[in-house]
Structure 1
Amino acid sequence: MGASEVLTDPSSLYDVGNGEYSDTYTMLTVRNALASVQNGESDRYEELVQSMQIIKGADHAVWADLVTILNALSGSVACIDIIHHRKLLSSVFGMSLWDLKPHVMDALVGLLISLAATSGKYLDSCLNMLIGHFVPPRWVIDRLSQRRVIDQKTDVLSWVHGAILKISLLVPLAPSRLLPMLAQQMPKINKKDNLVVMYVENLFKLQSSPIGQVGGSMIFMMVMERLRDLDLEIDWDDILQDDSSRGMFDMELEDTMNEGEENTSGGNVVFESLDKLMVISFDHLESCNLDGRLDQVFEKLFGAFENFILNTYKSKVSQFLMFYACSLDPENCGVKFASKLMDIFLSSNKPRPTRMSAVAYLASYLARGKFLPVSFVASMLKRLVDECADYCGACNDDIRPEAHQIFYSGCQAIMYVLCFRMRSILNVPLFRSQLIPLESVLMHRLNPLMVCLPSVVAEFLKQAKAGGMFVVSDSFIFDDLLESELSRAFGGPERLDTFFPFDSCLLKSSNSYISPNFIYWSMVRPTYEEDDDDEEDAEIIVNGDEESDEEEEEGDLDYSMNKMSITPKHSFKNKMERDRLLKMPSMIRHSTSPESL
């Protein structure tokens, strides 16, 4: 029996006759049907439930009747009982906006809003049903290339987000109930589809709404956690097959992405999902920046980073969300990120691995961020140098590397940044003078030059000598060594001595967002290279310091030429190499050349 028959049947309490019934009569008839089931008479109630079952291919009249029923139920929610009308509620919550005409969607959404606002008993069910629409059914996913289906997706999600927002405004408790549901319904990593990408798009839409004021932090944590999970799903070690005969700072990774995908189980879909998630995350941050709320969003983003990424040492890509946010607003977000990392490193209340990870992030960020003024980099280096100098003055007689891991991580951070920035730092007398205490740090009996990663130390000393910063013995050469037993000792089981989190972004689409603001090693002009008047010094010309006289060339840097990883994978293997490693410079002293004045 159809909706019209239910409402005009002579057995109904309110017979409006000939299908010409008013909304009031319809509502009274529906209420009568709802009341009858509690009196032991279920016929009219069963007919009401049956009238909500839409058969595929139903004509316009059937859809019109359904709209009438839904509107009547919206005005009768106070009469609905969660026990006696379980079958009716099951029919309502089992409906899908994806299967309905636009005017029917309007009526169903109105009913859901009424149910959620009238009684707290239905709030969770209404929110769960709406969240369930974040991921379309399979038939929609398979046809998303069609314009009609794309428009339908836009319409459905517009209704869904509008309903969630209205419920949140009517029921103050709704956002706090919504957030755990969002986390629970987040799609798992699936190697067969990209459902998580569609879901995150909707999370960001919520984050941009007033709901984001309440749940923005948790939404970013959900996204960051999923990015991390996808990041860890990829076996990056199989992709980063470096030549052990090449030095760390000579490496320019070949474009092995496709080969890596083939060697990774399910790699193609995981790569694609991670890349797409990063791109929509970048787009969301850019939208926040255009809306003038990036500074506010950044605090929530950093909280998610600190919770899920900071101590995840195998992450290769997800941390670039922070890098991109900083590149959008260097003066605020860019400074905040470095300052927060510095504060974590200097905090004695933080766990040792967290402090070491923070300074590794800080060093990698200061080295790679093309948007960071040299003056700011120099100020951060000064704080690190002063901290290491103070540590040397207060240390005890224990010189085991594992007893001074924080100190060595700070020293390595200084040298690593200077490998990228030394030319521009030494060109400014004030910045050069701020590095004077570094000499006593490097000459201290804790021997950071012997303990820190040899490849970093060797490149640093080579540039320091060429730049007139120190006079260094030529015998202090590490050749092709990439790590040592001593650096392993200070790096600990997490190998934080080899942790350079902002190595080149290895996902092509994501890299297109990062590369314009990223300093690749191939762009660095070390101090031992002669000046070339025809070339700009890439690591000097950065925002806030100097402007190029010529417009930058259009287009991103070639992806395959600029991917560089300096994360070492090889250990020295024999006593001869160890003996060579332990040789110290015969003399390290402040240069008396004119350049040092």
Structure 2
Amino acid sequence: MSVYTNKTGAPSILKPFSGADRDRAKIAAANQVRFATPKEKGLVECIRIAVEDGDFHLVQEFTYFIRESDLDDDELLKVLTDARKIVHHLTPDFINVVEALMSLNWKKRSLGIIEAYKDFCVDVMVAHNRYLPNGICKLIIHWIPGDLDSAEWVNGNPSERAHTDLKPIHDALNRILTAVPMAFDVVIDAITAKFPYFKKPSHVTAGYLFNVLWLIEYKPVFEELILQLVLQKLLVLDVNAPRDEIDVETNDHDSIEDNVRSQQPSVNHPIGRTLDICLLMLYKFIDGKCRIEPNSCQQSRESANRVFKILLYLFDEVLLPSHNTHHVQFVIFQVTGIRSDYWDGFLQMLWNKVKNPNASAIIRHTAVGYLSSFIARAKFLPLSTITFYLKELSKWAHSYIDDSDEYGQNCSLKANMVFFSVCQGIFYLIAFRASDLTRCTKDLLFLQSLQLSRLAMCHFNPLRYCLAPVATAFAGVTRTHQLAYCHTVLERNARRKLATVYGHDKAMSEETLETFFPFDPYLLKLSNMYIEPNYLVYHDTETGDYAQTVTLPFHRKRGDSEMVEDDEFIVADKRQKY
């Protein structure tokens, strides 16, 4: 290049630079990046000079060297071996070089390098607790699959290569947790912080969940905290995958071709698919923990019971207070189907919650929904259990009526929410389980003993506040078997609402008990394999023509009045939405 540019003749700011000079500059630059001086001295010497003379210049240069250089296997092994020799000298004064060592690219290297890296990380975190947060995060971040690694993770199951890559990470964590008790809190914090965002691809969240559950396998002490975290994260997925969106998608597939629908690997809703895969993994984990073989040892039984008690506690703390959920609550449905002791404990807990006057009305109301929905849907429950809770619910409701003042009592929905919830639960169970409860004369005598007519026609008028499909189905069953005659009450309630509307010349809000039955039909396809065997599908056999004789409010939607569609006991727009 000349001193002047060819086009303008203006002086150039660049000096003449021949090809030979350019080659020499490249060589010099390469040598400069390699940091020849600290490499020759080595890490041990650099640290010795810093410790003895207080000169950190070489340590700083060595840090730049290992960060910027592309080390080959021999160099990397030498660096890690030297670092392990002086691990006790790597105090927090050398945090930069330690973090650089922990950030080395080691995963795709030889087995010797993997072992050397793992040994160094364990040793430095055991020797210096200051490095625990950063070191554990460096390990746990490898739990997160890449966005493009979907082929390595099919339905949350890693390929053989991915599993092999993860094993050293778990080995290192196991050794750290065994040697440093204070690392437990650090691990929990890191797992919580690194949990993937709920809109991440399905294989990313499922891959991370796989590793979280793997941690419990070798450190059961994490069971409660990890399961609580997992349920909380799945709830986020659940509320962002509304059942009406999944339901519409399922109906679209049904309308195209049933065979095509049956071959769908999962739902098409992206967040719903993530939830489906994660629940499949969680069900499999719980089944492996809680299913006890007849010849199991005492330790296995104790372990299974401990996991169930944790799940029952988490249901009370996490799931019961959560509203507008759709599928995560089936975790408790799945585990209770494993042993009779489990469903018995679950029902007792719910019933105690309903009876507890110190609990909030909304929690008691929700507990009634869980109790009635579970008894209605669980195939494995014996008839004796169904009749026991029907009797207990009826006894409680009759006592409530006895203790009230027929003329001075406030009969509003807000003041008597628990009573109306219990009545609706009774009506729902009788309508849903009618075929089981009316098989013989003995069963009908039991239903007569419940004094259903008194409940339905008391001054509180609970049928007025019940969901219309529940009230209609209950009226049909009781009329068919001559247990109560509710049609007059239903028609009077319907006329009262119509009179209100026409009298004010506008649509008034319907005063209806806001309810959801949490074990309504399960729409996820992959994880349904753990739910379907124990799940009872509703089929209307009792209401018949009677359902058409009751006039419901004017704003009723099409298909919203009777329980005549396949297992649509409660339509979507009537479910609980707080």
Taking structure 2 as the reference length, the TM-score comes to 0.75
Q: Give the one of 480, 488, 491 matched to 1:466.
A: 480
Q: CA deviation at 1:112?
A: 1.3
Q: Which residue in the other structure is 1:433 paired with?
A: 446
The alpha-carbon distance between structure 1 residues 520 and 96, as it changes in their structure 2 partners (threshold 3 A), is farther
1:226 aligns with 2:227: no
Output aligned runs, 1:542-557, within 5 Å. none
Q: Distance in 2 between matches of 1:441 and 1:177?
A: 56
Kindly provide the amino acid, as one letter, of the partner of residue 284 in structure 1.
Answer: F
Output aligned runs, 1:111-510, within 5 Å. 111-138=120-147, 140-141=149-150, 150-190=159-199, 192=201, 194-210=203-219, 212-213=220-221, 215-238=222-245, 240=247, 268-290=269-291, 292=301, 293-329=303-339, 331-396=340-405, 397-427=409-439, 429=442, 432-433=445-446, 436-439=449-452, 440-468=454-482, 470-472=483-485, 475=488, 489=511, 491=513, 495-496=514-515, 499-510=516-527
Q: CA deviation at 1:410?
A: 0.5
The higher-RCO structure (CA 8 Å, 6+ apart) is 1
Q: Distance in 1 between matches of 2:246 and 2:332?
A: 24
Kindly provide the amino acid, as one letter, of the partner of residue 100 in structure 1.
Answer: R
Kindly provide the amino acid, as one letter, of the partner of residue 402 in structure 1.
Answer: K
Deviations 1:406-441 (A, max 9, x none): 001001111111112233234463784376244333
Q: Is the 8 A contact 1:412 1:456 kept in 2?
A: yes
Kindly provide the amino acid, as one letter, of the partner of residue 473 in structure 2.
Answer: E
Deviations 1:445-497 (A, max 9, x none): 212233322321221121123234x1426556679x8x979995452xxx22x
Deviations 1:339-386 (A, max 9, x none): 212122221222111111111011111100111112112212222111
Deviations 1:470-528 (A, max 9, x none): 1426556679x8x979995452xxx22xx111111111112232112111113x65497
Q: Distance in 2 between matches of 1:75 and 1:257?
A: 69
| Secondary structure, counterpart of 2:159 in structure 1 | helix
Moved more, 115-124 or 96-105: 96-105
Kindly provide the amino acid, as one letter, of the partner of residue 289 in structure 1.
Answer: C
Deviations 1:219-244 (A, max 9, x none): 112111121111111243455569xx
Deviations 1:127-175 (A, max 9, x none): 2212111103456456658xxx933321222111121121111111221
Q: Is the 8 A contact 1:368 1:519 kept in 2?
A: yes
Q: CA deviation at 1:306?
A: 3.0
Q: Which residue in the other structure is 1:557 paired with?
A: none
Q: Distance in 1 between matches of 2:363 and 2:180?
A: 40
Q: CA deviation at 1:116?
A: 1.7
Q: Is the 8 A contact 1:187 1:199 kept in 2?
A: yes
Q: Which residue in the other structure is 1:517 paired with?
A: 534
Deviations 1:54-106 (A, max 9, x none): 866x6xxx3134224323322322101212x2331121232355343332121
The alpha-carbon distance between structure 1 residues 353 and 167, as it changes in their structure 2 partners (threshold 3 A), is same
Q: Distance in 2 between matches of 1:48 and 1:473?
A: 87
1:64 aligns with 2:74: yes
Q: Distance in 2 between matches of 1:343 and 1:287?
A: 29
The alpha-carbon distance between structure 1 residues 192 and 123, as it changes in their structure 2 partners (threshold 3 A), is closer
* Aligned CA-pair RMSD: 3.8
Q: Is the 8 A contact 2:38 2:61 kept in 1?
A: no
The alpha-carbon distance between structure 1 residues 144 and 189, as it changes in their structure 2 partners (threshold 3 A), is closer
Q: Is the 8 A contact 1:189 1:230 kept in 2?
A: yes
| Secondary structure, counterpart of 2:573 in structure 1 | coil
Q: Is the 8 A contact 1:257 1:506 kept in 2?
A: no
Q: Is the 8 A contact 2:242 2:326 kept in 1?
A: no
The alpha-carbon distance between structure 1 residues 501 and 70, as it changes in their structure 2 partners (threshold 3 A), is same
Q: CA deviation at 1:126?
A: 1.9
Taking structure 1 as the reference length, the TM-score comes to 0.72
Deviations 1:109-134 (A, max 9, x none): 11111122112211222222121111
Q: Is the 8 A contact 2:397 2:423 kept in 1?
A: yes
Q: Which runs of 5+ in 1 are unaligned?
A: 13-28, 243-251, 260-265, 530-560, 572-597
Q: Is the 8 A contact 2:145 2:208 kept in 1?
A: no
Q: Distance in 2 between matches of 1:435 and 1:175?
A: 58
The alpha-carbon distance between structure 1 residues 306 and 8, as it changes in their structure 2 partners (threshold 3 A), is closer
The alpha-carbon distance between structure 1 residues 418 and 117, as it changes in their structure 2 partners (threshold 3 A), is same
| Secondary structure, counterpart of 2:358 in structure 1 | coil
Deviations 1:171-219 (A, max 9, x none): 1122122212211211111255542221111111122332x32x32221
| Secondary structure, counterpart of 2:218 in structure 1 | coil
Kindly provide the amino acid, as one letter, of the partner of residue 566 in structure 1.
Answer: I
Q: Which runs of 5+ in 2 are unaligned?
A: 1-30, 258-266, 292-299, 501-507, 546-564
| Secondary structure, counterpart of 1:328 in structure 2 | coil
Kindly provide the amino acid, as one letter, of the partner of residue 239 in structure 2.
Answer: L
The alpha-carbon distance between structure 1 residues 237 and 104, as it changes in their structure 2 partners (threshold 3 A), is same
Q: Which has the larger radius of gyration?
A: 2
Q: Distance in 1 between matches of 2:245 and 2:149?
A: 36
Q: Distance in 2 between matches of 1:190 and 1:408?
A: 39
The alpha-carbon distance between structure 1 residues 308 and 144, as it changes in their structure 2 partners (threshold 3 A), is closer
Moved more, 108-117 or 286-295: 286-295
